[in-house]
Structure 1
């Protein structure tokens, strides 16, 4: 089980319910959901459930999402600041889903690339036989570039459906799926179906 990860500037610690207020501050901020407004957390309970899923992933698969904390101060941010989260969650198929989200005040420092890179390495270390995937909206060019910098390859582009089936359905939006290796058609179909 992976406990704490370190980079030159960041600490990544397993998320716990002690992080719920900070997590909700980031995940409830509309600015962090510019490309997918319907994904924004609207309650602390929603953030708590996301953290609980990450805690379960860590217990069962050895890794989950982490709180990303600044080790040393940078202009405008104090040491110990909760910047956001980064990590990987096991999907219902045998594949990781790499993800990250950062507070707006942390943008523009390269923290997402740094944290996602160490999270990618941790997922590979926890289960080397399991592919790492990442889903991103095609309109989110910053995340597309980040995944390319990490060396992930685009393996699919499109929409899971022609039209939304309800107000929270986003499967009609164009997405890209990246992976660190070839994956089976069955796994790809399951990742596409997630929207």
Structure 2
């Protein structure tokens, strides 16, 4: 898939070494870790190590920094990623943003660009994702993009120190094609 994806307000770009500082700062926030699988407390050096693995191709996912400079926002707002090889029938979407930009529509914009690229550039038949049941904002992001809830799982969240129920979501290629202008291109 493309290394850089452009949206009206964002540039989704490869992670860079200078993203480690803001990534560490936001990932260490309890309110971020409580809604994600990010370790908590966030270990020193974890962001730099993750960025190095991502840039060296050692992850089984493609990860982009969500860069807000096209709209006058910060150069690092969060991350969005797509797990799985291009030939996998189902890819998995994940994302998180720093709390100051929650509610600004950046998650929907970034996730939408990645989903569009996944279907346009790979043979994936579906894209899946999961959100904790109490993460209403993230659920809404997926619903706006056409994802449908397909099940529930329970997983342990380190920040909460407890098991958490998560909803599994899925967007089939046919459903994406029926509603996406990118499918017509």
Shared fold (TM-score, shorter chain, > 0.5): yes
Q: TM-score under structure 2 normalisation?
A: 0.75
Q: Pairwise CA RMSD of aligned residues?
A: 3.2
SS of 1:156 mapped into structure 2: strand
Distance 2:161 2:170 in 1: 21
Aligned to 1:11: 11
Alignment partner for residue 81 of structure 2, among 78, 87, 100? 87
Question: CA–CA distance in 2 between the matches of 1:105 and 1:138?
Answer: 22
- Asked if the contact 1:26/1:101 (under 8 Å) is kept, the reply is no
1:8-157 matches, within 5 Å, as 8-35=8-35, 39-40=39-40, 42-55=42-55, 64-70=62-68, 71-73=70-72, 78=73, 80-90=74-84, 94=88, 95-157=90-152
Worse overlay, 130-139 or 97-106? 130-139
Deviating beyond 4 angstroms after TM superposition, the runs of 4 or more aligned structure 1 residues are 166-171
Higher relative contact order (CA 8 A, sep 6+): 2
Length, aligned pairs only: 170
Instruction: Specify every segment of 5 or more residues in structure 1 that has no aligned partner in the other structure, as ranges.
Output: 183-195
Structure (1 or 2) with the greater strand fraction: 2
TM value normalised by structure 1: 0.72
SS in 2 for 1:173: strand
Instruction: Check 1:168–1:34 CA distance in 2 against 1; reply closer, same or farther (3 A cut).
Output: closer
CA distance in 2, matches of 1:68, 1:96: 19
Cα distance, 1:123 vs. partner? Answer: 2.2
- CA drift of 1:101 comes to 0.9
* 1:170 positional shift: 7.6
User: CA shift at 1:169, angstroms?
Assistant: 10
Stretches of structure 2 lacking an aligned partner (at least 5 in a row): 174-185
Deviation at 1:171, TM superposition (A): 8.7
**How far 1:174 moved relative to its partner?**
1.0
